[in-house]
């Protein structure tokens, strides 16, 4: 098989359930991996800040016996006029995989087209597939099953929401994207995810009514109201999204064993209250840890000979 990328969740659609199971297995086997990626180097190109993605990819490849190379794009020639096509071909001569956090998915796609080694998205303006994988790992750990579960995503229909739509559709979770009309997820992704969900006997629904959407939910999920690269003024975002905040009122209408998820970084008292993120339903730090195990599953699957 030729090289493969993970730029959209759909790039590994058929392997998604196996990736979730592999991440859980690798989590249980932490410290006993036997260097399956010995001698492999992952270049990590960042155009935006990161705590979780950078740390988890670096540690993941190190614990699998390989090595990570951090590249700040502003300090690369690509940040000073060299083309992404040339960068892709040069890096392909040095490393075994490239992780890229980009502003623009078109740059991500170009990098994926021109490298001869796998490109793994560490987020762009359209998707965040590795986050969605860690999210599915977390849901499986907490509930064991996916079918018939109800996940409500509240707030901005952003990159995290788009990848979650695909991941939920693939795993058979019913998902409601509950966002203001002007900040719905990508329309093509909604449609494509709804089609996949239908094949899997589940539903993808849009809503603008948090109080109705959250009734009986198994998972409440939110993300920042202002993503990196989004210039919406804070006061405007607060007005637009206030009704979508995850707080004790919304939590009280969800299922009694509901879990609360957030990809982090969180903005307390904006998209989520301090009492909810610090409360007994919150699984956000398990979710963050699972980034590590999910990255290992992706790296193993794409980079192992």
Select from ligand NVA, ligand CP, none the partner in contact with residue 51, using the beta carbon and a kind-dependent cut-off of 5 to 8 Å.
ligand CP
User: Is residue 263 among the annotated active site residues?
Assistant: yes
Shortest distance, position 288 Cβ to ligand CP, whole Å: 7
Choose which of 121, 158, 273, 282 interacts with ligand NVA (CB under 6 A).
Answer: 158
Shortest distance, position 199 Cβ to ligand CP, whole Å: 29
Q: Counting contacts by CB under 6 A, is residue 227 touching ligand NVA?
A: yes
User: Which residues are at the interface with ligand CP (CB under 6 A)?
Assistant: 50-53, 123, 131, 263-264
Query: Which CB sits closer to ligand CP, 91 or 263?
Result: 263
20 class by beta-carbon count within 10 Å (0-12 exposed, 13-18 middle, 19+ buried): buried
Q: How far apart are CA 106 and CA 184, in angstroms?
A: 21
Helices (H), 41-158: 52-63, 84-94, 105-114, 129-143
Q: Where are the beta strands (DSSP E) in 128-182?
A: 150-154, 174-178
In angstroms, what CA-CA distances link 96 with 11, 38, 61, 85, 119?
18, 11, 11, 17, 9
User: Is residue 101 among the annotated active site residues?
Assistant: yes
Q: Cβ-closest residue to ligand NVA?
A: 227
Residues 94-113 that bind ligand NVA (CB under 6 A): none
Q: Which two tokens stand for residue 90?
A: 């040069």
Query: Which CB sits closer to ligand CP, 52 or 110?
Result: 52
Choose which of 223, 261, 291, 299 interacts with ligand NVA (CB under 6 A).
Answer: 223
Choose which of 184, 228, 238, 240 interacts with ligand NVA (CB under 6 A).
Answer: 228
What b-and-e string marks burial along 71-109, b requiring 16 or more CB atoms within 10 Å of the CB?
Answer: bebeebebeeeeebeebbeebbeebbbbbbbbeebebbb
Q: How far apart are CA 111 and CA 90, in angstroms?
A: 11
User: Is residue 291 among the annotated active site residues?
Assistant: yes
User: Is residue 131 among the annotated active site residues?
Assistant: yes
Q: How far apart are CA 148 and CA 54, in angstroms?
A: 34
Catalytic residue among 52, 96, 101, 262: 101
Q: Respond yes or no on whether the N-terminal peptide bond of residue 265 is cis (omega within 30° of 0).
A: yes
Compose the 159-178 pattern: x for residues touching ligand NVA by CB under 6 A, - for all others.
xx------------------
User: Is residue 268 among the annotated active site residues?
Assistant: no
What b-and-e string marks burial along 121-137, b requiring 16 or more CB atoms within 10 Å of the CB?
Answer: bbbbbbbbbbbbbbbbb
Specify whether the backbone of 44 is left (phi greater than 0), alpha (psi in -120 to 50) or beta: beta
Q: How far apart are CA 245 and CA 169, in angstroms?
A: 24
Shortest distance, position 51 Cβ to ligand NVA, whole Å: 9
Residues 56-75 that bind ligand NVA (CB under 6 A): none
Select from ligand NVA, ligand CP, none the partner in contact with residue 159, using the beta carbon and a kind-dependent cut-off of 5 to 8 Å.
ligand NVA
What values do phi and psi take at 196, rounded to 5?
Answer: -60, -40
User: Is residue 32 among the annotated active site residues?
Assistant: no
Shortest distance, position 145 Cβ to ligand NVA, whole Å: 27
Q: Counting contacts by CB under 6 A, is residue 222 touching ligand NVA?
A: no
Q: Counting contacts by CB under 6 A, is residue 261 touching ligand NVA?
A: no
Instruction: Specify the 3-state DSSP secondary structure of 57.
Output: helix
Shortest distance, position 211 Cβ to ligand CP, whole Å: 27
Footprint of ligand NVA (CB under 6 A): 123, 158-160, 223-224, 227-228, 263
Residues taking part in catalysis: 101, 128, 131, 223, 263, 291
């Amino acid at each position: 098989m030729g090289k493969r990328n993970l730029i959209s969740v759909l790039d590994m659609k058929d392997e998604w359930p196996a990736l979730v199971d592999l991440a859980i297995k690798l989590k249980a086997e932490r410290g006993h991996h036997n260097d399956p990626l010995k001698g492999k180097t992952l270049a990590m190109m960042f155009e935006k800040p990161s705590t979780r993605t950078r740390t988890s990819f670096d540690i993941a490849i190190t614990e699998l016996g390989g090595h990570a190379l951090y590249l700040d794009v502003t300090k690369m020639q690509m940040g000073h006029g060299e083309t992404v096509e040339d960068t892709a071909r040069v890096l392909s001569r040095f490393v075994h995989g490239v992780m890229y956090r980009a502003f623009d998915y078109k740059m991500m796609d170009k990098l994926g087209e021109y490298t001869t080694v796998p490109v793994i998205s560490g987020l762009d303006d359209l998707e965040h597939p590795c986050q969605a994988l860690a999210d599915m790992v977390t849901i499986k750990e907490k509930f064991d099953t996916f079918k018939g579960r109800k996940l409500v995503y509240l707030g901005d229909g952003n990159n995290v929401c788009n990848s979650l739509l695909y991941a939920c559709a693939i795993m058979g979770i019913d998902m409601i994207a509950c966002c203001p009309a002007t900040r719905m997820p990508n329309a093509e992704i909604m449609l494509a995810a709804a089609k996949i969900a239908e094949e899997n006997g589940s539903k993808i629904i849009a809503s603008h009514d948090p109080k109705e959407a959250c009734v009986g939910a198994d998972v409440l999920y939110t993300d920042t109201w202002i993503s990196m690269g989004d210039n919406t003024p804070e006061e405007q975002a607060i007005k637009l999204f206030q009704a979508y905040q995850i707080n004790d009122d919304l939590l009280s209408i969800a299922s009694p064993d509901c879990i609360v998820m957030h990809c982090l970084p969180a903005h307390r008292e904006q998209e989520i209250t301090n009492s909810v993120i610090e409360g007994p339903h919150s699984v956000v730090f398990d979710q963050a840890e699972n980034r590590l195990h999910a990255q290992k599953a992706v790296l193993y699957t794409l980079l192992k000979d």
